[in-house]
Amino acid sequence: MDNTFSVQQIAAGPCLSYLLESNGQALLIDPHITKAAYYRDLIRKKGLTLAGIVDTHTHADHISSAAILKAEYPCPLYMSPKAISSLGPKQVSAGDTIEFGSGHLEVWDAPGHTDDSIALVGGGCVFTGDVLMIGSVGRTDFQNGSPADMFNTLARFKELPDDTVVYPAHDYKGHKQSTIAQEKTQNPFMVETDKRAFIANAESKVLAKPFNMDQIIQVNREGSAKEIEFVTAEQAKERLDSGDWQLLDVRRPDEYEGIRILPSLNVPLDRLQSRMSELAGDKKWIVSCRSGNRAAAAAGMLLAAGMQNICVAKDSLNGWLKKGYPVVREKVPMSIERQVRTVAGSLVAIGTLLAIFASKWFLIVPMFVGCGLVFAGLTDSCMMAELLMKLPYNKNAMQKKAAGGGACSLDGGSSSGTCSMDSNNKDGSCAM
């Protein structure tokens, strides 16, 4: 029987999901919570019928959108009989086949990372879940994972044809796919042939637990995943006034210092991942930024990390200001980085104009600025910034900040765990 299908890989950070397409029907593998709307759009635009959803195992590092999609599409959710799920999945195990269009995938039991792991094999591909990753394997230290089972599962993968394309559920290094031949020669866990050594190596790994793991597993088992809710400025204010919700502002500290809604907490978007633990718990967060874009991205991160009481202030600060709601404004100087950009750009423009209209010797100005910026980039020390910081208005601002007049930004790191057993990945991930 013809078994052809296309594979579209959809990444949400290190989490990889797959939309397989054959004769107008689709199969969705390991759907991620933040991509529910994307899958929906893709299926609609391509005019596909969703024939099935597969969760290769109960994910511990992110929430699956299987529950949301299963409620919308009349198709089965396939999982191992060992998976604990309130969604009534169609149980599949070794020897079963999942069909979609004219494509089909054979189900393999693939314990090791968890005891409820399955892999899907067919059409020259293997969807390995978190058992076999590119250059690594899934960790085995929770959800009834087992290094011995992992070794046996990998041994079975080695028997697949060398050109079989490997599609994992996670990758932490930006890889997209691999082959069995590549993994057999380059993946240290596949290269290992001594079962005892393999088990000893796996057991020697000390890895951080994925962040908020217990909560994520609970949501995935209950099928209680929610999509991001967007609220208007009126709704946001109502919720804040009720005292049940708190405002999380994800703008940069300099933006927050200039104008902010109070009370609120400032955790800039680029620091959110390392500060998750400070936001976890039973708190309900309204996420806000200037226009709503960064807030939506931040809410996606919080949601994927298992925090369910999250909503996004749709127009964020802009919407709040339009309604005339109260804010605190503070006159803050331009950041040093912006000052450098402004001064350097001005010098280049003025020098060039003078070179055109006065004397070519003025070309020395843009050339000097250019060399200075290259030097600053290479050495990470900027003379212009140092000079600017000596100006009185910058000095005053820094003194004020040192005295505690700054933003409510939280600093300090925290570890986030994921699923990897990669020896280079000490902050924890799905891989070894």
Query: Is-contact 112 141, C-beta < 8 A?
Result: no
Give yes or no for residue 430 binding Fe ion (CB under 5 A).
Answer: yes
Whole-number minimum distance, CB 112 to Fe ion, in Å? 11
Give the binding-site size for Fe ion (rule: CB under 5 A).
3
Q: Is 248 in the site for Fe ion (CB under 5 A)?
A: no
Restricting to residues 380-409, which ones interact with Fe ion according to CB under 5 A?
A: none
* Residue whose Cβ sits closest to Fe ion: 130
**Strand, coil or helix: what is 230?**
strand
CB of 258 to Fe ion, least distance (A): 42
CA-closest candidate to residue 388, choices 332, 330, 331, 333:
333
- Which residue, 143 or 178, has its beta carbon nearer to Fe ion? 143
Q: Which stretch binds Fe ion (CB under 5 A): 4-12, 67-75, 214-222, 419-427?
A: 419-427
CA distances, 139 to each of 30, 50, 142, 150, 426 (Å): 18, 31, 8, 9, 12
C-beta of residue 235 within 8 angstroms of C-beta of residue 316: no
Interacting positions 181-200 with Fe ion (CB under 5 A) = none
The CB-of-341 to Fe ion minimum distance in angstroms stands at 43
Which residue lies nearer to Fe ion by CB, 7 or 430?
A: 430
Q: What is the largest CA-CA distance in the chain?
A: 82
Residue 303: DSSP 8-state:
H
List phi, psi (to 5°) of 143: 50, 45
Comparison of 97 and 144: residue with beta carbon closer to Fe ion: 144
CA distance 421 to 44: 37
Beta pairing partners, 431? 138, 421
Nearer to Fe ion, 218 or 346 (CB): 218
Give whichever of 100 and 108 is closer to Fe ion, judged by the CB atom: 108
Applying CB under 5 A, the span of 155-163, 183-191, 387-395, 414-422 interacting with Fe ion comes to 414-422
- Burial class from Cβ neighbours inside 10 Å (0-12, 13-18, 19+) for residue 348 reads middle
CB of 60 to Fe ion, least distance (A): 6
Residues 108-147 that bind Fe ion (CB under 5 A): 130
Task: For Fe ion, give the closer residue by CB, 30 or 257.
Answer: 30
Q: Which residue lies nearer to Fe ion by CB, 101 or 417?
A: 417
Query: CA angle, 20 as apex, 15 and 21 as ends, to 5°?
Result: 150
Q: Pick from 419, 421, 431, 432 the residue near Fe ion by CB under 5 A.
A: 419
Contacting residues toward Fe ion, per CB under 5 A: 130, 419, 430
